[in-house]
Amino acid sequence: MIDILKIEIAKIVRSKSFLWMIILLGASVSLTLLGEYYFIVANKNEQPNVVHLIYSLYAVNATTFFPLIIAYFFISVLNDEFKLKTIKILFGSIRDRETIYMAKFIASAVVFVSIFSIMILASTVLLSIVTDINRINIEYYAITYQEALWRIIITTIIGEVYFLCIGSYSMLIDAIFENQGVAVIVFFMTVLLWSVIPLPQWFTNYFFLKGQTFFAFLDMFEFDWLEFMKYVALFIVYIAAFSGIGCFIFSKKQI
């Protein structure tokens, strides 16, 4: 598995397919943070703080923009094999198709998590420099800089697990349709229908897109560990289920 994983990571790096993800994520992160910073300064007559700004970053982008970028990245990693017909090389090797599929997913996950973590880390460092780190508050409740950092780290981790769930779902769609455009449309429709169609509570509580509001953990007065663990467990179950179905479909593919 490790050597296949290395091959898949090398392919992503050499194809430079991650570059536009850096550009789009970077643009949305910097525009959101700049916009929010000046909005607070201009309208609220108060000093922006690092927790508030990172919260705004997630609140603005986590519902649609980030998921779309991430879905497109995961879809393109798998779909390139169908488009270039290089899937023949992979299927003609002595490796299990399930191993190949999982290696593709894990390689994409490693690349995405690395880029996203660096981006959030860089934003946090920059915001820590330009804002007053001695006066951080959630509403009227003051917290220390250490606590702010800890909350950002925890929220980013759960956010990344949620985004990996999005990645595994989008890769599954592409394994079914073998078409980048169709897969992106199906993914977008899923997000759209989730927001538009009224669903019963028991369903919405356990559907993976519930993770769109993961950033709520950032400004909880008291951090709810039980709720946090429930979210993480739910996303992991979904990642396992989507990857399992994806592996099954991929292993049955014919050329």
Q: Which residues pair with 137 in a beta bridge?
A: 142
The CA–CA distances, whole Å, from 131 to 48, 126, 136, 204, 210 equal 7, 9, 9, 37, 32
Q: Are 133 and 53 in contact (CB under 8 A)?
A: no
For residues 87 and 136, which CB has a smaller minimum distance to another protein in the complex?
Answer: 87
d(CA 121, CA 125): 6
| 205 touches another protein (CB under 8 A) | no
Q: Is residue 22 a contact residue for another protein (CB under 8 A)? A: no
User: Closest CB to another protein among 5 and 113?
Assistant: 5
**2 near another protein, rule: CB under 8 A:** no
178, 76 contact by CB (below 8 A): no
Residue 247 beta carbon to another protein: minimum distance, rounded to whole angstroms? 15
Supply the minimum distance, in Å, between the C-beta of residue 99 and another protein. 10
Site for another protein in 56-85 (CB under 8 A): 84-85
Is 88 a residue that touches another protein (CB under 8 A)?
Answer: yes
Instruction: Tell me, by CB under 8 A, how many residues bind another protein.
Output: 23
Both tokens of 90, joined, read 């992979």
87 binds another protein (CB under 8 A): yes
24: helix, coil or strand? Answer: helix
User: Near another protein by CB under 8 A, which window of 1-9, 153-161, 179-187, 188-196?
Assistant: 1-9
Cα separation, 153 vs 236, whole angstroms: 18
Q: Is 92 in the site for another protein (CB under 8 A)?
A: yes
Return the structure tokens found at 38: 């000046």
Determine, following the binding rule CB under 8 A, whether residue 200 of this chain makes contact with another protein. no
Binds another protein by CB under 8 A, chosen from 1, 20, 41, 96: 96
Give the number of other CB atoms < 10 A from CB of residue 4. 19
